[in-house]
Amino acid sequence: MRVTCFIRYEIEPHQREAFEAYARRWLEIIPRCGGDLLGYFLPHEGTSDVAWGLIGFDSLAAYEAYRTTLKRDPEGAANFRFAQERRFIRREERTFLTPVVAGASA
């Protein structure tokens, strides 16, 4: 069953550019490590401290394998350190979603 990892970030609004740099790095790292990156989204109008990332996987098992690969990836590890050092992410939540598909029954 296909799943999407929906990541909700609460960010420091005055460090939007740092978060954008962080998100841009994931654009290459995530696909290399096995995730189907659907996108990162920055605040534009309205709430200034919430951003999102969406990553697709064939299953939760594929997500777990991706997390293992990601933690071993040198650029991934460097990007995690960048976020920790700059402290632009206040909070991060993950929710796993499944798509509603026409013709499928619950």
- Tokens linked to 63: 């997500």
> Is residue 104 a part of any domain in this protein?
no
C-alpha atoms less than 13 angstroms from C-alpha of 21 in its C-beta half-sphere: 12
Range(s) of the domain holding residue 54? 3-96
> Is residue 81 a part of any domain in this protein?
yes
Residue 64 confidence (pLDDT): 96
* Distance (Å) of CA 100 to CA 40, 51, 62: 21, 24, 20
> Is residue 105 a part of any domain in this protein?
no
Residue 55 confidence (pLDDT): 98
> Is residue 86 a part of any domain in this protein?
yes
Of all helices (H) and strands (E), which one includes residue 93? strand 89-97
Distance separating alpha carbons of residues 42 and 8, to the nearest angstrom: 11
Please give the tally of structural domains in the chain: 1
Residue 15 confidence (pLDDT): 96
Residue 106 confidence (pLDDT): 60
* Residue segments in the chain with a per-residue pLDDT below the cut of 50: none
CATH number (domain holding residue 46)? 3.30.70.100
